[in-house]
Chains A and B, each alone.
Chain A
Amino acid sequence: MSTSVGHPWRRRLHVSAVIFFGLLMAAPFYWMIINSFKSSREVVAYPPTWWPKEWHFENIEAALGFLDPSAIVNSVIFTAIITIVQLTLVVMTGFALAKMRFVGRGPLLTLFILTMFVPGQVALIPTFILVRNLNWIDTFMGLCVPIIAQTSFGVFIFRQFYISMPNEILDAAKIDGANWGQIFLNIVLPLSGPPIAAYTAVTVLTAWNMYAWPLISTTEKDMRTLPLALAGLGQSFSQTPPNVAMMAVLLSTLPIIIFFIFCQRYFINGLGGAIKE
């Protein structure tokens, strides 16, 4: 705020407040990190220590044992498939709804917008029955397809983006005899970097962290995703020592923290950009 300018003590107070509340927001992460390196004895010792006496890196191995490698692999596959397929679908649909003229375009857009307001729970039970009847329980089809189908938000975002793209760019190509496929691949896609980056960032995050649907659509241990493996650790610290549980949380969150720190710009632009005209 501009009030701080010209009042050094006020400025200092302001900066201190920013730092204090920032540390407070990050404090749970600090607690997670220090406890994931404590020994099994130190982590339950009273009073708790605020810095590990010794750093126990062998906790990494123990935590990986609890998470089991198949959950990590499943989560990577799950996230990759959903992000790539859903992105392809919403970019194309969003573009068509913005720039192509075809019968039923208006009602289609309304349909996508209306379903954004229906909570997932309403569709959850029938989707489960559908997936079960297709014999898709415990398959990647069953895990991914119903999530990929949740395209309304993405369609809306990309439609808004392409509406603001000038028609002249497309018209020039049309006069040169390019068809829609060529226009889309050669002209539209190269201009769509920012919204694609933002949407990818948000989708990766959502898919990596998803819990309820994988919980319902899988029964076998080797089809579990990371959040399912993690949830088991949360139920009771008597079965899993808390230091190992914290290390498991840290390991499962670390890839996405690194991803976030490098892609922060896209998150902020993608989410904050939603409110800019």
Chain B
Amino acid sequence: MAPISRTASRRKTNSRTDSPFWAALFVGPNLVLFTTFMIIPIIWGLGLSLFDWNLIGEPRFVGLANYLDILKDARAVNSVWKTVYLVFLGVVPTVLLSFLLAVLINTNFPGYTVFRTMYLLPIVISLVASAVLWRFIYDPRVGPIAQLLGVFGISGPNWLQDTTWAMPALSLVIVWLRLPLGVILYLAALQQINPQLLEAAEIDGAGPWAKLRHVIWPNVMPVTLLILVLTLRGIIFDSFDIAFVMTKGGPLNSTDILAVYIYDLAFAQLRLGYASALSTVLFVIVTILALVFNPPRRRSTNGDPV
């Protein structure tokens, strides 16, 4: 009896776990790379923030001194506020405009796809290419914006050289770049709204605005939260390219966001420990903002899109 039961139990385990060979083959290569170039650097980065190191000498343990230094560093405090300011200037218009544009183009007419492509086109251009392009568009003399304002008798500022206007000018480029993703996600959400809901609202006498406000907007709320978080992440991740190419943090540090300052600290000044501490601060800011926009709640993982 004994041998039989042993085989039986082994067969049972076999049916619960597959051969480790195939699992290792399918997951192993990725796991090795992922651990080496993602997990270890993330932990290393947190550890490095407790050291003082210039890449050449011996790292010196300084505890939390780097974090305390941030509070005394006017440029660091400024860059934290500039980052929050840029996120605000970028996220709010991106979400509202992509919603309105998606509602607008959720239609059909002959030649429609040509125009839909126009709305989605900015998704293809790189941040750097658009930075070069928009520098020229913002040109105070021969740029089209200055020209159009001139028609109305307005003499615009030198957008990228003006401490007040440089940041809004950057955020306009970022919004333009990020609108297509929002429009695509909202379009998909709009097509999932039950048409009977809209008909019912119409029978109840709801006008277009009432339908927009009380039927469509609440129904796409999950997507709005998704777009909020994606845009937030996108702006934090992408803003470096735009700011670094368009203004290099200037004029007078008015666009000196954290990503630009961290790059300067790490790769120009070689203050790697301090730069890591600021990166950690950036991580904390992103996490806090993400939680504010999208508080964790119970939901099925299957439909969870992020």
Residues of chain A whose beta carbon lies under 8 Å from any beta carbon of chain B: 1-4, 14-15, 17-19, 21-23, 25-29, 31-32, 35, 43-48, 89-90, 92-93, 95-97, 100-103, 108, 111-112, 115-130, 145-146, 148-152, 155, 160, 163-164, 179-181, 184, 205, 208-209, 211-212, 216, 226-228, 230-231, 233-235, 237, 242, 245-246, 248-249, 252-253, 256-257, 259-261, 264, 267-268, 271-277
**What is the CB-to-nearest-CB distance from A196 to chain B, in angstroms, rounded to a whole number?**
16
**What is the CB-to-nearest-CB distance from A190 to chain B, in angstroms, rounded to a whole number?**
17
Q: Flag if A180 contacts B142 (CB, 8 Å).
A: no
Q: How far is the CA of A184 from the CA of B23 in the complex (A)?
A: 12
In the complex, what residue of chain A is closest to B46 when comparing beta carbons? A122
Q: Flag if A1 contacts B106 (CB, 8 Å).
A: yes
Q: Flag if A212 contacts B283 (CB, 8 Å).
A: no
**What is the CB-to-nearest-CB distance from B273 to chain A, in angstroms, rounded to a whole number?**
9
Q: How far is the CA of A21 from the CA of B120 in the complex (A)?
A: 12
Contacting A48 at CB < 8 Å: which of B31, B37, B129, B143? B143
Which residues of the partner chain B approach A276 to less than 8 Å between Cβ atoms?
188, 192
Contacting A123 at CB < 8 Å: which of B19, B38, B222? B38
Q: Which of B67-75, B85-93, B132-140, B163-171 contacts A (4 or more CB under 8 A)?
A: B132-140
Chain B interface bracket (under 10, 10 to 19, 20 to 34, 35 or more): 35 or more
**What is the CB-to-nearest-CB distance from B168 to chain A, in angstroms, rounded to a whole number?**
17
Q: Flag if B125 contacts A149 (CB, 8 Å).
A: no
**What is the CB-to-nearest-CB distance from A53 to chain B, in angstroms, rounded to a whole number?**
15
Q: Flag if B18 contacts A180 (CB, 8 Å).
A: yes
Q: Flag if A119 contacts B283 (CB, 8 Å).
A: yes
Closest 10 CB pairs of A and B: A209-B126, A272-B188, A149-B37, A234-B132, A102-B23, A126-B41, A96-B26, A123-B41, A22-B118, A126-B44
Interface flags for B105-133 (1: CB within 8 Å of A; 0: not) read: 11101001001111111111111111111
Given contacts A21-B104, A46-B141, A271-B185, is CB(A118)–CB(B136) below 8 Å? no
Q: Flag if B144 contacts A31 (CB, 8 Å).
A: yes
Contacting B272 at CB < 8 Å: which of A95, A125, A237, A248? A125
Q: Flag if A272 contacts B184 (CB, 8 Å).
A: yes
Q: How far is the CA of A92 from the CA of B24 in the complex (A)?
A: 11
Contacting A209 at CB < 8 Å: which of B16, B128, B141, B208? B128
Which residues of the partner chain A approach B208 to less than 8 Å between Cβ atoms?
1, 3
Judged by a CB distance under 8 angstroms, whether B176 is at the interface is yes
In the complex, what residue of chain A is closest to B114 when comparing beta carbons? A22
Interface flags for B275-306 (1: CB within 8 Å of A; 0: not) read: 11001101100110010000000000011011
Q: How far is the CA of A89 from the CA of B210 in the complex (A)?
A: 48
Which residues of the partner chain A approach B29 to less than 8 Å between Cβ atoms?
89, 92
Q: Flag if A119 contacts B236 (CB, 8 Å).
A: yes
Contacting B23 at CB < 8 Å: which of A3, A43, A100? A100
Which residues of the partner chain A approach B132 to less than 8 Å between Cβ atoms?
230-231, 233-234, 245, 248-249
Q: How far is the CA of A179 from the CA of B132 in the complex (A)?
A: 53
In the complex, what residue of chain B is closest to A155 when comparing beta carbons? B30
Q: Flag if A227 contacts B128 (CB, 8 Å).
A: yes
Q: Flag if A163 contacts B302 (CB, 8 Å).
A: yes
In the complex, what residue of chain B is closest to A174 when comparing beta carbons? B18
Which residues of the partner chain B approach A264 to less than 8 Å between Cβ atoms?
117, 120
Most chain B CB within a 10 A radius of its CB, from A123, A233, A245, A277: A123
Q: Flag if B124 contacts A95 (CB, 8 Å).
A: no
Given contacts A117-B287, A125-B275, A277-B303, is CB(A96)–CB(B246) below 8 Å? no
Which residues of the partner chain B approach A211 to less than 8 Å between Cβ atoms?
126-128, 240-241, 245
Known A-B contacts: A89-B30, A268-B184. Give 9 more (CB < 8 A). Answer: A25-B119, A26-B118, A92-B29, A102-B27, A234-B132, A234-B245, A256-B126, A267-B120, A275-B303
Given contacts A208-B126, A245-B136, is CB(A121)–CB(B262) below 8 Å? yes
Judged by a CB distance under 8 angstroms, whether B66 is at the interface is no
Which residues of the partner chain A approach B275 to less than 8 Å between Cβ atoms?
125
**What is the CB-to-nearest-CB distance from A139 to chain B, in angstroms, rounded to a whole number?**
15
In the complex, what residue of chain B is closest to A97 when comparing beta carbons? B27
Q: How far is the CA of A146 from the CA of B136 in the complex (A)?
A: 33
